[in-house]
Chains A and B, each alone.
Chain A
Amino acid sequence: MLRGLSFGASEGEALHVRGPNGTGKTTLLRTLAGFLWPEEGELYWMGERVERDRDRYCADLAYLGHENAMKADLTPRENLRYMNGVRHPTSAGDIDAALQRLAVHGQRDLPFRSLSAGQRRRVAMARVLLARARLWLLDEPFTNLDVGGVRELSSVIADHVRIGGIAILTAHADLDLPGVALRRLELT
């Protein structure tokens, strides 16, 4: 599907992957996350091939896919405690702070199923925020978000990039990340 693609991203950089539907944006992100192996070519992280130390790469990586990876029967707090706790110890205070940052603090003890689609996306983004990862791979993070949500999420991503993180994201709309130099990768 994807051919002749070569790019890199370094600390403090946001890379916006764009392109019409079906051009392989999700495939590209899933390849970067290590779910798919490229038929040809290599994936490098910090100068080393990812295959050589996959666990280390995973510890540096936070991936937000199309699905939110949350259980409908658990509350946002429980969901985050389990999903982030598997990676590293996550305190209730950290979880509350992340939910507050994404403005879904008020829904923290409601079942995930009762949240609106936009609130679910915010909780899923709180998981990324809590992952303590340098590299964020975000597949359509702005789906279902309202205007305020887009602004808040943009500022979360911008903050991550500004303190030395890397964000690679797909989005259909133009991005406005305050104070961050944005690079574009157009797929055709």
Chain B
Amino acid sequence: MSAVPAPVLPATAASSRPAHGLGTGLVRAAWLVFERDVRLAFRRWEQVTQPVVFFVMVATLFPLALSPTSQLMQAIAPGILWVAALLSALLALESLFRNDLDDGTLEQLALSGQPLGWLLLSKTLAHWVLSGLPLVLTAPVVAVALAAPAEAVGVLMISLVLGTGILSFLGATGAALTLGTRRGSVLLSLLVLPLAMPVLIFGARATDLAIRGDEPGGALLLLTAMLILSASLAPLATSAAVRISLE
């Protein structure tokens, strides 16, 4: 044998089959996927701010276009807030898996030996933190600009937390299904919008009830039920769709 440097890493091949420390391994893997996406987003700041800017712009253009009496504003504020939130959530979806497919990251995640659905759930949560949470946090400002009473802001934020969560899960499935098409954004909207209708209806309804000073509990509970349903089913559908797109 010639002068080959000794392997720096001892025993890469034969010996060490990593012991399947399942519980901790799953948490670590999910956290790394999450942290990676958040760090990437901070390196590309404009991607994070884009949906928020869109949301604020759309919602504040309505008072300018309509007669800005506080009575009219209060009547249409829930609709404006929710339609703007829905559209801005759709805007952020296209990039959810696209880059990871193009640069081969999804292939590696599929081969990581960890459950793909679990890793994608973590990615979806990161996506929510980067696109849904900013909406929730800016919503109070927009709501006040639309003359919504301060008492309704809490309910608006809760309903948006639930609603944007559902949209992230639905959207993840939609984004995974449209990975195979080169320009999937229109198809993605067509897929996700019909499924998102109940979210729009109950979210706007909860906000409307709160603005009128009524009890919004029923609508919020329905949103919660939808969130639980989408959170439990979407990762399975998403991972199946991603595996198909890798073929």
Binds B, one of A18-26, A53-61, A141-149: A53-61
A82 at the interface (CB under 8 A from B): yes
Residue ID in chain B nearest A66 by CB atoms: B104
Main SS at interface, chain B: loop
Contacts of B32 in A (CB 8 A): 81-82, 85-86
Proximity bits, B6-25, A CB within 8 Å = 1, else 0: 01110111101110100001
**Could you tell me if B102 and A159 are in contact, using CB atoms closer than 8 angstroms?**
no
**Could you tell me if B104 and A74 are in contact, using CB atoms closer than 8 angstroms?**
no
B232 at the interface (CB under 8 A from A): no
Would A97 and B8 be within 8 Å (CB), given that A86-B119, A165-B14 are in contact? yes
A94 at the interface (CB under 8 A from B): yes
Proximity bits, B100-141, A CB within 8 Å = 1, else 0: 001111011111111100010000000000000000000000
A83 at the interface (CB under 8 A from B): yes
Q: Smallest Cβ distance from B141 to chain A, in angstroms?
A: 30
B183 at the interface (CB under 8 A from A): no
Would A101 and B114 be within 8 Å (CB), given that A82-B33, A85-B32, A164-B14 are in contact? no
Query: How many angstroms from the CA of A33 to the CA of B231 in the assembled complex?
Result: 29
**Could you tell me if A87 and B40 are in contact, using CB atoms closer than 8 angstroms?**
no
A92 at the interface (CB under 8 A from B): no
Query: How many angstroms from the CA of A61 to the CA of B119 in the assembled complex?
Result: 18
Contacts of B158 in A (CB 8 A): none
Which residue in B11, B29, B39, B247 is a CB contact (below 8 Å) of A86?
B29
Contacts of B33 in A (CB 8 A): 82, 86
Would A33 and B11 be within 8 Å (CB), given that A82-B35, A89-B28 are in contact? no
Q: Smallest Cβ distance from B237 to chain A, in angstroms?
A: 19
Interface residues on A, range: 35 or more
A98 at the interface (CB under 8 A from B): yes
Query: How many angstroms from the CA of A141 to the CA of B151 in the assembled complex?
Result: 62
Q: Smallest Cβ distance from A33 to chain B, in angstroms?
A: 6
Residue ID in chain A nearest B42 by CB atoms: A73
A118 at the interface (CB under 8 A from B): no
Q: By CB atoms of chain B within 10 A, which of A11, A60, A87 has the most?
A: A87
- B contact set with A: CB distance below 8 Å: 1-2, 4-5, 7-9, 11-14, 16-18, 20, 25, 28-29, 32-33, 35-36, 39-40, 43-44, 102-105, 107-115, 119, 246-247
Besides A55-B113, A160-B13, 16 other CB < 8 A contacts? A35-B107, A35-B247, A56-B113, A58-B111, A58-B113, A59-B18, A63-B108, A66-B104, A67-B103, A69-B108, A82-B35, A83-B105, A87-B114, A130-B9, A155-B4, A161-B13
Q: List 21 A-B contacts (CB under 8 A).
A: A55-B115, A59-B20, A63-B111, A67-B103, A68-B104, A69-B105, A70-B103, A71-B40, A73-B44, A78-B39, A82-B36, A86-B33, A87-B113, A94-B9, A100-B8, A130-B9, A134-B13, A155-B4, A159-B4, A163-B13, A165-B14
